Amino acid sequence: MGTETDTTTVHLAVYDTLADWETGHATAWLARAGYTVRTVGPVAGEPVTTLAGLRIVPDLALADLDPGESALLILPGAEKYDEGDELAPFATKARAFLDAGVPVAAICGATAGLAREGLLDDRPHTSAASFYLAATGYRGGGHYVDADAVRDGDLITAGPTDPVAFAREIFARLGAYEGKRDAWYRLFQHSDPAAYAELNG
């Protein structure tokens, strides 16, 4: 594709102990908006197992993921982020995305991975709790925001209990559901019946 960025393919990182509930709103509704969602794992074709025990076969390997062929990299949380450095390469890839001007969205444990990579040292961000990230030893505590989700330019962060707010910020960064994002959020976050008619009108 040369130096132009693919604006229609979103990449979802998948790895063992992935937290199933954290990215479903984002990926399902991005697909409905016309994006192609492809999964990226440690090894292409080698299944990973989520916290729910679901097996996912990644479409491609992390090593083969080029920021220029993606509109967004989504990093879900996983217990493995708190068990060692096995998932550190995903944070390294996130740095490559951000350096290339391609957005990254991280939720829950994935924010700890970004913190260890130094990507949260100087930009507004959030996570499960400030002390969770402080335990990584990162230097960005002064930029922590106590919010459901935070979008700072090309970086989106959220805690594990806020998948709807996480998706809303992803849509905003990609320009999806213009004019209907508020209704979408009210429907899925607050079960507002009036929002359904707005979203589907």
Whether 175 contacts 192, CB under 8 Å: no
Instruction: Give the pLDDT confidence score for residue 5 in this predicted structure.
Output: 56
pTM of the model: 0.95
User: Which range marks the domain in which residue 25 is found?
Assistant: 9-176
Told to judge if 3 belongs to the known catalytic residues of this protein, a careful annotator would answer no
Specify which residues 37 forms β-bridges with: 10
CATH (domain of 66): 3.40.50.880
Query: Which tens digits make up the pLDDT trace of 8-52?
Result: 999 999 999 999 999 999 999 999 999 999 999 999 889 999 999
Total tally of structural domains belonging to the chain: 1
Options 40, 105, 106, 108, the catalytic residue: 108
200 in any annotated domain: no
Query: Which tens digits make up the pLDDT trace of 116-131?
Result: 999 999 999 999 999 9
70 in any annotated domain: yes
Three-state secondary structure readout of 107-120: ECHHHHHHHHCCCC
Tokens linked to 192? 């507002």
Residue 173 CB coordination number (10 Å): 18
